[in-house]
Structure 1
């Protein structure tokens, strides 16, 4: 029997790892890591360094798996994502059959917390094995801590969405809005309609390269774009999130 551990690792820093996650990592025989190409090799390196820092034996191993291509041109977004997930499941199933034929424990190390806009739990559920999920510190929590803010105003709601859906959904009645997966900074298009809207933004949260910005969206969006490009140029990737708040 194969046991599958989906482990939230927060920012990838050992100090942000929960004790439950550390114990779970010490049980893993094989870590499966999606290989997203040389531009994102840092992401695999951070995972390897985290394991070296917290695992107290050398019996585990890493298998880097070339990530299947995702169709980003399709008008059927949900269908394209489901096809991508199915291709991942098939790839991982082949590797588990070859690497753990007699059973064992496989681990997936997930940035932040696996509950927020991440496909790993869905993919793990399609594999043959017992699935256990270990929560991690999310980027939303790190964002709030870095800016020393509460994510909602008194008695008000929080709305969590993605950059792809932001413009269609946004209204001040939503309360504070947390936005994830916004590679194009769609929030800039809200400036003409909501000129006083505030933003609390953070990238590479919890890592040495952490960058923050806060203020009126209209005034700081240019600096945020420039910082994102600088981070991408230096590291090959950017992981960021932000909170939008009416004053």
Structure 2
């Protein structure tokens, strides 16, 4: 066999091997999401927690100081999802509970009640999977409640502890552009507007005291 033909054959072999590896990773990612969903819908919060990336917990760790200490002005300076997360979590937990909560507790207790943690939209399913860095990071299009596919919003999967895990917060930046227009009102602060929509979501009156610091 000529050298050129051999090189071409080796190239095809490598491409085939690479394709098989990527497809295997996509299968693993989809299986990880399925297993996460099964635990989530069965309200097995502790089990579902194993499929969540450390990046998600880091996000809520960074949010905790705002959750405890931010007043209306500081809340209004937060990005949309952080703002909604602070208000929804302040509504859910008492000041005493907030002072002892952790990011792990926030996520686990949300899963136990078959909801996503404060601010995070509910992922119903994933679509196409893109391997960003083989063996380390991938992303997938996502279907959000009530069943809409958002091609521009990609949920990240991170390889941690030998398995693919979801970063629930990875869609926040893209989806923030859709939320921001609802927070603009010359007669009200962004925090007040967020509280208005939280009341609509919860279908109940929520006092304005949650716009004030919650530390005790």
Shorter-chain TM-score above 0.5: no
**Structure with more of its chain in helix, by fraction:** 2
Instruction: Determine which structure has the larger strand proportion and give its number.
Output: 1
The structure number with the bigger radius of gyration is: 2
| TM-score range for the pair, normalised by the shorter chain length | under 0.3
